[in-house]
């Protein structure tokens, strides 16, 4: 039995090396870019805008395409240019004026030496899951505090709730304090778990996608919360309810903290289902 398990583990390890090592070797050929102080800002903005753009296109098309409106949580709402452009402008402004100086300082103080080997597939997946679970718990506490303490809400979190109906580009429409809090949680988690640089990169892609999807305003049959069993993942309908009612569904992704602490509110089923 032990020999059988050992052989399965060896197959998994070799498969992960066949998959991840070529990807990691390819990324290392871009080392001049990936190790520059500009990379974190460029990567973050390009990934974020790239994930938002499809939803922006859907919002533009939805008034003329009834099929799309079936999947909108608020079928009669489409963000205007006066809502979209300030959100995009704020994201660019904050990343250039605030995020870039911090990444420059971090780059100057602690240059990263890239390891020659890619991570094992099991290690990569487990670290990403743990990072998401940690981030979910940390932001839940932060989020509850910034709703329950009036001064914190008015000063730091209210800006994120200016758009009661969510849309993708409103994901990062937030105060600098909130943006840095989220970045701090990310940094602490990958540092605590000693994540491989490739794991960190993929985790950020996953985290940005889940955040954008949560604010997109679209509940599709293939949305993430419909792929995760047992209602463990809240998703876009869960988070949209928080934006409309304020006093429930504080966790960004998963539902267990809200259920345990009595702040969970189930989202109504969409008409198409």
Residue 191: pLDDT above 70?
Answer: yes
State the residue for tokens 């990324």. 27
Residue 14 is predicted with a pLDDT of 59
Residue 31 is predicted with a pLDDT of 86
Residue 49: pLDDT above 90?
Answer: yes
pLDDT, tens only, 155-168: 999 999 998 889 99
pTM greater than the 0.85 cutoff: yes
Q: What is the mean pLDDT of the segment spanning 21-25?
A: 94
Question: CB 198: neighbour CB atoms within 10 A?
Answer: 20
| CA–CA distance, 39 with 99 (Å, rounded to integer) | 11
Q: Which of 18, 17, 16, 23 is nearest to 202 (CA)?
A: 23
Q: What is the mean pLDDT of the segment spanning 216-225?
A: 96
Q: What is the mean pLDDT of the segment spanning 108-125?
A: 88
C-alpha angle with apex 78: 180 to 205, nearest 5 degrees? 35
Residue 123: pLDDT above 80?
Answer: yes
Residue 1 is predicted with a pLDDT of 47
Distance of CA 134 to the CA centre of its chain: 13
Q: What is the mean pLDDT of the segment spanning 92-112?
A: 88
Residue 8: pLDDT above 60?
Answer: no
Q: What is the mean pLDDT of the segment spanning 106-116?
A: 81
Residue 58 is predicted with a pLDDT of 97
Q: Which of 202, 184, 196 is nearest to 139 (CA)?
A: 184
Residue 263: pLDDT above 70?
Answer: yes
């Amino acid at each position: 039995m032990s020999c059988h398990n050992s052989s399965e583990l060896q197959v998994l390890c070799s498969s992960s090396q066949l998959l991840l090592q070529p990807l990691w070797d390819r990324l290392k050929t871009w080392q001049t870019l990936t190790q520059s102080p500009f990379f974190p800002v460029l990567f973050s903005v390009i990934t974020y805008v790239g994930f938002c753009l499809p939803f922006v296109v859907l919002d533009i098309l939805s008034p003329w395409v009834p099929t799309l409106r079936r999947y909108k949580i608020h079928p009669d709402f489409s963000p205007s240019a006066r809502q979209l452009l300030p959100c995009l402008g704020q994201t660019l402004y904050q990343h250039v004026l605030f995020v870039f100086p911090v990444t420059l300082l971090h780059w100057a103080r602690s240059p990263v030496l890239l390891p020659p080997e890619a991570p094992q597939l099991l290690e990569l997946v487990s670290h990403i899951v743990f990072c998401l679970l940690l981030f979910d718990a940390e932001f839940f506490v932060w989020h509850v505090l910034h709703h329950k303490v009036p001064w914190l809400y008015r000063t730091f979190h209210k800006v994120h709730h200016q758009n009661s109906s969510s849309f993708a580009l409103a994901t990062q429409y937030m105060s600098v304090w909130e943006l840095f809090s989220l970045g701090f949680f990310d940094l602490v988690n990958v540092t605590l778990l000693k994540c491989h640089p490739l794991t960190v990169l993929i985790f950020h892609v996953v985290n940005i996608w889940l955040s954008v999807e949560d604010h997109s305003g679209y509940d599709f049959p293939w949305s993430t919360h419909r792929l995760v069993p047992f209602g463990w993942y809240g998703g876009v309908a869960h988070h949209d309810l928080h934006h409309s009612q304020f006093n429930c569904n504080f966790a960004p992704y998963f539902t267990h903290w809200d259920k345990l602490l009595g702040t969970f509110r189930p989202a109504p089923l969409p008409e198409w289902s």
